[in-house]
Amino acid sequence: VFSAMSLEGDVCVVTGACGFLGRRLVRLLLEEEKVAEIRLLDRDVQLQVLQSLEDLKVDLMVCIPQLYWSERSQTDGQALPFRISLFFPLQQVVQQYKTIILPPPGTQLLLEVCIQENVESFIYTSTVEVMGPNPRGEPIVNGTEDTVYNTTLKFSYSKTKKEAEQRTLQANGETLQNGGRLSTCALRPTYIYGDGCRFLLYHMGDGIRNKNTLFRMSLPEAHVNPVYVGNVAFAHLQAARSLKDPQKRDLVGGRFYFLSDDTPPMSYSDFNYVLMSPLGFSIQDKLLLPLSIFYVLCFLLEAICAILRPLVRIVPPVNRQLLTLLNTTFTFSYQKAKKDLGYAPRYSWEEARKRTTEWLASQLPAEREKILSS
């Protein structure tokens, strides 16, 4: 039986707080935990995100390390119930705080500040892509934290996430300025979807341009298991509670956990179709070209882009690594997170699918108008 430790009275820093996952976590913290304060750290403070939390009537501290500014935010002459404070240097963001969640690319800097300012817990949002797939497209079915895999990373995103994850886990147990110990862990979600997911909007837009037919970029048998954003946010909350619990800190600290839920395994393309078929979209039966020819074309396109790079920088829409990612079976179990963190999906597949499709339906008219008028 897992006994959840409360974060009541704590102060949290959430980085990337205006992003897809970050804002879900902020709302969850406000709804379920009586934290003393939450500071939002983001390079791009989006006012509409703050307005979406207005119904909670809670003061939030929003921080951008590059600037220093503090005033009551005004919109159309009406004050929002948020205290907007943008801080520099970074120490002012995290000092006297006990938990940091969702660190950005400057992970090493944040870890150093944690030690200086006696921050006790640090949770890093990693990704399943730090595992692969490798260029050979070797599959993983229902992988666990103990799965041995020949990982070779080519995407810069995967490489930087892997490096940041390693630094986070290595920092576990570091001595703080006050003599305490820093506890860290990393969470590796699979592909995160849900209401607000911009990638789904991109695919829907492509489908609109293609006469309401979604492109097939992955083989039907290349199964992955996406995870709903609400479940990922809840897993972060459980990780924060676990790192605070004296009986759990040593168990969880220094470890990584895969995050998935009960979304059924299917290919990326078929997953998009399941979410968008109620909106009138169909999907191509087969890939536009055999996969081997796709790889050759990607290789040629990458070579041309490399030749032109001294003159102009062109990023190809598809490359071999992305093609491998889309066409490799890569599924993972959340049982370790369930056992150690007390994580279990808050949202069933049926509810997650319903919420996501309803959000896509709400966006469809504007997307269609934008595309057809361009």
Averaged pLDDT of the chain? 82
Confidence of residue 46 (pLDDT cuts 50, 70, 90): low
Q: Is residue 105 part of a domain?
A: yes
In the annotation, is 157 catalytic? yes
Q: Is residue 317 part of a domain?
A: no
56 DSSP 8-state letter: G
| Domain membership of residue 74 as a residue range | 11-197+226-266+330-355
373 DSSP 8-state letter: T
Q: Is residue 320 part of a domain?
A: no
- Give the E-state strand segments of 149-295 in sequence order: 183-189, 192-193, 213-214, 227-228, 255-259, 282-283
Task: Select which of 149, 157, 193, 295 is catalytic.
Answer: 157
Tokens of 287: 């890939």
Residue indicated by tokens 């990638």: 199
Q: Is residue 306 part of a domain?
A: no
Confidence of residue 222 (pLDDT cuts 50, 70, 90): very high
Q: Is residue 282 part of a domain?
A: no
Q: Is residue 33 part of a domain?
A: yes
Tell me if residue 270 falls in helix, strand or coil: helix
Q: Is residue 5 part of a domain?
A: no
Indicate if the alpha-carbon torsion angle 154, 160, 163, 169 is positive or negative. Answer: negative
Query: Considering just the CA atoms, what is the radius of gyration of the chain in Å?
Result: 22
Q: Residue 71: is its pLDDT beyond 50?
A: no
Helices (H), 277-343: 291-308, 320-326, 335-341
From 125, 109, 108, 110, select the one nearest 186 (Cα to Cα): 125
Contact 39, 18 (CB under 8 A): no
Tokens of 72: 């009551």
From 124, 130, 128, select the one nearest 169 (Cα to Cα): 124
Q: What is the pLDDT of residues 130-186, one digit of tens each?
A: 998 998 899 999 999 999 998 887 777 788 889 999 999 999 999 998 999 999 999
Average of per-residue pLDDT across 44-62: 55
Domain of 95: which CATH number?
A: 3.40.50.720
Distance CA 228, CA 167 (A): 27
Which range (43-47, 135-139, 257-261, 288-292) has the least confidence?
A: 43-47
Q: Tell me how far CA of residue 171 lies from CA of 107, 257, 337, in angstroms.
A: 11, 17, 20
63 DSSP 8-state letter: E
Q: Is residue 151 part of a domain?
A: yes
Confidence of residue 360 (pLDDT cuts 50, 70, 90): very high
State which H helix or E strand residue 61 sits in.
Answer: strand 61-63
Average of per-residue pLDDT across 204-212: 96
Count of domains observed in the chain = 1
